[in-house]
Amino acid sequence: MIQAILLAGGKGTRLAPLTDNLPKPLVKIHGKPMMQYVLEHLRAAGITNVAVSVAHLGQMIIDEFGDGSRLGMTLTYLIEPEPMGTGGWTKLVDWEQLEENFIVANADNLFWIDVEQFLARHQSHGDIATIAGIELPSADIAKYEILRPDSAYRNLDAYIDRSQAEIELSGKNTGFISSGWYIMHKGVRLMIVGTELPISNELHLWPAIAHSGRRVGFYHAAEPWFDSGTHERLARVSAHVASIAPPSS
């Protein structure tokens, strides 16, 4: 059964010229594709059966990782015939092959999240979904969707559209954004309505989950997290990787 879905369809245009002829998840950090760091982190937590959603130059990702056997994993691919958005996986995955609770994560954000603790947080409360939130200075996230957790940082009280972010953050020194790591119960399938494409996790799926009336879990992530979307951010994650022991192969 599929334990995780990895989103690897982005173009990474802000990393040009590195991504002119290379999908962003294959950009190397210290000689290793960034997606491999994510896969190895999942494998270390016992997540070995992963479906990878690919679009832009996706065949290069398939050629690089194949069936996953060289990493001791089982990889299958959700191939977008055209760009379908970050939620395109919902239209492509065989829901019957998914574990009852499964991880959804970005292939190009390096995150040293405690996967076992994240899963335990979700499973112990029986939530429809759990989102890992990153706390950042308000000035840095005023153009993002904002997460509003409860006072105990255990449940998500609201998922705030970016158009309301500045109002939500007013008077606050910090706020929370999504890390791009989620745990979902298969029940979220019922919240995916319509056939419009592209479909976005951020603009469509998560707001639907947040307004579902079901309890949504919140994981206050304090582990090292890096958005690799720009050359400056890529340099930061490269420096962090250099400062720690590299993941085992």
> What does the pLDDT look like over 90-130, one tens digit per residue?
999 999 999 999 999 999 888 999 999 999 999 888 789 99
Task: Indicate if the pLDDT at residue 74 is higher than 90.
Answer: yes
Residue 216 β-bridge partners: 129
Q: Which amino acid is at 58?
A: G
Tell me if 1-110+228-249 shares its fold with 113-223: yes
249 confidence band (pLDDT: 50, 70, 90): very low
The model's confidence at residue 195, banded by pLDDT at 50, 70 and 90, is low
What's the token pair of residue 101?
A: 């609770």
Q: What is the number of other CB atoms lying within 10 angstroms of the CB of residue 124?
A: 9
Contact 227, 179 (CB under 8 A): no
What is the distance of C-alpha 176 from the center of its chain? Answer: 15
3-state secondary structure of 163: helix
The residue ranges of every structural domain in the chain are 1-110+228-249, 113-223
Fold of 113-223: Spore Coat Polysaccharide Biosynthesis Protein SpsA; Chain A (3.90.550)
Alpha-helical (H) ranges within the chain are 34-44, 58-65, 89-92, 115-125, 165-169, 206-210, 231-243
Q: Is the peptide bond before 23 cis (omega within 30 degrees of 0)?
A: no
| Predicted structure pTM score | 0.91
Q: Give the SS3 label for residue 131.
A: strand
Rounded Cα gap, residues 25 and 9, in angstroms: 8
User: 1-110+228-249 is classed in which CATH architecture?
Assistant: Alpha-Beta Complex (3.90)
Tell me the pLDDT of the chain averaged across its residues: 90
CA distance 226 to 240: 9
CA distance 79 to 53: 6
Q: Reply yes or no on whether the pLDDT at 13 is more than 90.
A: no
Which stretch of 50-59, 170-179, 237-246 has the lowest confidence by average pLDDT? 237-246
